[in-house]
Amino acid sequence: MRYLTIVRHCESSPAKAGQSDYERILSIKGKNQAGQLHSWATDLQQLGKYGPTTALVSAAARTRETFRRAFEGTSFVKTVHFSELIYNGKRNVSAEDVLIDIAAIDPVVTSLLLVAHNPSVHELIFSLTKELPEVLKGEYPLGGAFVLAIPDNQQIGLAQYELIDSFIPD
C-alpha cells in the first residue's frame, strides 16, 4: 500500500501593504502548526509511517514555507516539485487540475504528498474519498493533513480511496 497525504498550508499572515496574496507568509500560529506537522512527519508511529513521499507543493510563499518548516529535510519526503499551476490566486484551480499535476509526478513507487490551497485541497479530497469525515464537512482545517490509501503499483487517478488517517494541528 502507498499513500497520498493532502495538506492545506498552515495559517498565513494578512497581506502587508503592497504585498500580493502569492507572497504571504505564515503567521506565528502557522509556524507553530508547521512545527506540529514536522513532529508528526518525523515520527514513524504518526504521519512519518506514510512516507517516503514524492511531494508536489504550490509555489506560493505560504505553501513553500509550510513545506519547508514541516517536511523539508525529513525522511518523510524523498523528492519535491514546486508548481505555480496549483496556486489558486491567479486562476481557478480545480481538483482535476491538481490531480493531473500529481499524476504527472507520480513515480508509482513512493507515496505522495500535496501541499496546496483551499478550495482545491477540499475539492480534491471530496472527489477522491469514499466518505468524508465530520471535520471535512465544514472548512478544510489550516495545516490539516489527510492520508488516503492507494493500491500498490497503481498510478493516482480519479478513483475512490479510503481515508485512513488525519493530523490536524492546533
Where is 5: in which H helix or E strand? Answer: strand 2-8
Where is 6: in which H helix or E strand? Answer: strand 2-8
Q: Which domain holds residue 66?
A: 2-167
Count of structural domains, the chain? 1
- Listed in sequence order, the residues at least 6 apart from 164 whose beta carbon sits closer than 8 Å to its beta carbon are 3, 147, 148, 149
Question: Which SS3 state, helix, strand or coil, does residue 75 take?
Answer: coil
Report the alpha-carbon distance of residue 142 to residue 65 in Å, rounded: 13
Report the alpha-carbon distance of residue 1 to residue 146 in Å, rounded: 16
In the chain, count H helices and then E strands. 4, 6
Report the alpha-carbon distance of residue 15 to residue 61 in Å, rounded: 11
- Write down the pLDDT at residue 62: 98
Low-confidence ranges of the chain (pLDDT < 70): none
Cα–Cα distances in angstroms (integers) from residue 78 to residues 35, 141, 142, in the given order? 19, 25, 24
Return the C-alpha cell found at 128. 477522491
Model confidence over 14-33: pLDDT tens digits? 988 888 989 999 999 999 99
- Write down the pLDDT at residue 18: 86
- Write down the pLDDT at residue 153: 87
pTM tops 0.85? yes
Query: Which CATH number goes with the domain that contains 14?
Result: 3.40.50.1240
